[in-house]
Structure 1
Amino acid sequence: MSKPHDHRSFFSYLGYQTGGDEYRCPDLGTINVSCRGDRAQLEELIAPTPLTLEGDVFVVTVADFSHVSTGPYFDAGIILPVSYEGTHGGHYRFEFEDQHWSTAAGRELWGYPQRYAKFDFEKDEKGARASVRDYDTPILSISVEFDDAVSDEAWTGIPFSPHLQVRGVPQAAGDSFEILEVLMRHTSKDFQLTERRLGRGSVELGPVDIGSNVLGGRPLEVREVLGGEYLRTDFASTRENGTPVLLGSLATSR
């Protein structure tokens, strides 16, 4: 006779929290640099998903979650504007974190395409700068040099939230998926903004597709850097807005 099993206890085996747990990060520092890319290349990147690309402007972001209640980590990503059946938001097409547990949790719980990387992040009175590397390989570097004359007109109004991600659980013995679904998380509803500084943005991108080679050896093209911003917020992932909403469950072969 098999022993009774508490399924939730298996999260302790995995080493991260459940998808419904709340967590908070006061004084979250984030650098965002908005770029105009090559529309055809971005369409190629989104093609394997059921999402629709909604423009050629994307965001390169690095965030300092040093004060998060679940344990400190850094997060970086490249976010594309997308939609799914009338819902508009932002899709993390590439993403990196510096803790093994957070890398696994974001990918397995919610479909963020996270990979492990190492970070540098600094902010002073002149601006903010961050870089991400895979061991000794530079992945991306961004900065914003504060300048009150810079306008956000070129990118304001483009919806990069809520997050629309595709979570897939492959079949253990097959060529399809046990689960393939579109999820929405709207944590930005709980942001409390405490500081925002605009400025001149800069970005250098290395092999952001490291480990997957989905760009086939090409760089992710940046045709224009539109500007940057530094944000300080009190972040929360609440049960109301941080718990994902199922937007679509896709058919799979069995």
Structure 2
Amino acid sequence: MRRAGSSGFPRSNSVCAVPARYSLQPKSLDAHGIMDNKFHMDEFMQSFFHSSSTSPKGPKAAMTRIPLHDANNMPLQAPLIPDPFVPYECPGNRSLHAICQGDPAILGQYLENTPFTLAGDRFLVYVSDFTNCRKAPFMDAGIVIPVRFGDREGGYFLFEYEDNDAAIAAGRDLWGYPKKFGTIELIERTGGAMASVVRHGVPLITIDCTFDGTQAEPLKTTPHLNIHIQPAPDGKILNKRVIARDTSPDFRMTSCRWGSAAVSLGALATDPLSPLGPVRVLAANYVIGDFFATEQNGWGKTIANLVTNGIPVEGA
């Protein structure tokens, strides 16, 4: 990676061994044309657990090594999230942002069960292309509203969608992003760009932008202020905290085109986006640049504990 000296993937610390000369591939077809997958199990098991007397270099020369990992997530033998996940980068990251104006009463309802207060009547609808990220390529989309938490201002993700389970798990487990799976597109065309998010066959977000120079004052959506929840085995909340994360200082923008846009929002019972509509779009921009999640800014920081070991924090 350009700004990271490590690959970021787990190191192997133990192995299982499978004799290389034994194959589990089908060996033949029987009289009915069905594959015969039988092999001599006794011989295989003996070779698996005992030394090979035929190998001049000893048993390891005939072994296929299967790496196991000591990662920070499951499954231990093949972790879903690359560990460590940071640092990572995405050269040529593309994003389409729509700056929208909403009803403060509706926006405030989404915050009633959070420690945040609304910081204005505008919100952001966006789709972003991280498919050039080698560690976990993904598409990303969501709705972010500016909020206040004490003396801090930042962006709270009401909804977020991605299309790679590793990226979804990393965002949820590490930093509290409310990521769910969605099918996401971002297409640049002559004079504009369009984007869409579909979940369970239902269109949830569409953005159609024309690059005509229309501009609006940018929103303050960083640092991201996330509510990170760890459920307990009995179904209650084990830990609940506010995490701040801000990778924006390391982003290197190469181009930005402004324009007018139309946004439509759909809904599922589990994804109530439509109360934010009909959407009034003030302006949109299409940004291309190099994204970096560095050791300095790529990790999140706990700024408040709300529940610790199942016990609500007094005054939180």
Specify if TM > 0.5. Answer: yes
**Residue type of the partner of 1:66?**
T
1:212 and 2:212 matched = no
Q: Is the Cα–Cα contact under 8 Å of residues 85 and 170 in structure 2 kept in the other structure? A: no
Which residue number in structure 2 is paired with residue 164 of structure 1?
Answer: 225
Separation in 1, partners of 2:92, 2:117: 33
Q: Is the Cα–Cα contact under 8 Å of residues 192 and 234 in structure 1 kept in the other structure? A: yes
Which residue number in structure 1 is paired with residue 300 of structure 2?
Answer: 244
Which residue number in structure 2 is paired with residue 28 of structure 1?
Answer: 93
Deviations 1:194-226 (A, max 9, x none): 00000011101001xx363557xx632245211
Which residue number in structure 2 is paired with residue 193 of structure 1?
Answer: 253
Deviates more, 1:6-15 or 1:241-250: 6-15
- How far apart are residue 119 of structure 1 and its match? 1.5
Separation in 1, partners of 2:83, 2:202: 33
Which residue number in structure 2 is paired with residue 3 of structure 1?
Answer: none
1:151 and 2:215 matched = yes
- How far apart are residue 9 of structure 1 and its match? 5.7
Give the TM-score normalised by the residue count of structure 2.
0.71
Give the TM-score normalised by the residue count of structure 1.
0.88
Q: Which has the higher contact order (CA 8 A, sep 6+)?
A: 1
Q: Is the Cα–Cα contact under 8 Å of residues 147 and 199 in structure 1 kept in the other structure? A: yes
The alignment covers a number of residue pairs equal to: 242
Q: Is the Cα–Cα contact under 8 Å of residues 20 and 239 in structure 1 kept in the other structure? A: no
Which residue number in structure 1 is paired with residue 46 of structure 2?
Answer: none
Q: Is the Cα–Cα contact under 8 Å of residues 202 and 227 in structure 1 kept in the other structure? A: no
- How far apart are residue 39 of structure 1 and its match? 0.7
- How far apart are residue 28 of structure 1 and its match? 0.4
Q: 1:123 aligns with which of 176, 188, 212?
A: 188
The RMSD of aligned alpha carbons is: 2.2
Separation in 2, partners of 1:192, 1:213: 33
Separation in 2, partners of 1:213, 1:9: 30
- How far apart are residue 125 of structure 1 and its match? 2.9
Separation in 2, partners of 1:21, 1:237: 6
Q: Is the Cα–Cα contact under 8 Å of residues 143 and 228 in structure 1 kept in the other structure? A: no
Separation in 1, partners of 2:133, 2:235: 39
- How far apart are residue 37 of structure 1 and its match? 0.9
**Residue type of the partner of 2:138?**
Y
**Residue type of the partner of 2:225?**
L
Which residue number in structure 2 is paired with residue 94 of structure 1?
Answer: 159
Q: Note closer, same or farther for the CA distance 1:213–1:205 as it changes in structure 2 (3 Å cut).
A: closer
Deviations 1:37-95 (A, max 9, x none): 11111111111111221111000000011101213210000000012121111111100
Separation in 2, partners of 1:213, 1:204: 14
1:229 and 2:229 matched = no
Counterpart of 1:101 in 2: which secondary structure? helix
Identity %: 33
For structure 2, the 5+ residue unaligned runs are 1-68, 312-316
Separation in 2, partners of 1:23, 1:57: 31
Separation in 1, partners of 2:307, 2:147: 21
Which residue number in structure 2 is paired with residue 138 of structure 1?
Answer: 203
Counterpart of 1:104 in 2: which secondary structure? helix
Separation in 2, partners of 1:117, 1:74: 9
Aligned counterparts, 1:22-101, within 5 A: 22-101=87-166
Counterpart of 1:21 in 2: which secondary structure? coil
Counterpart of 1:106 in 2: which secondary structure? helix
Q: Note closer, same or farther for the CA distance 1:70–1:40 as it changes in structure 2 (3 Å cut).
A: same
Separation in 2, partners of 1:9, 1:159: 32
- How far apart are residue 230 of structure 1 and its match? 0.2
Q: Is the Cα–Cα contact under 8 Å of residues 97 and 118 in structure 1 kept in the other structure? A: yes
Separation in 1, partners of 2:177, 2:195: 21
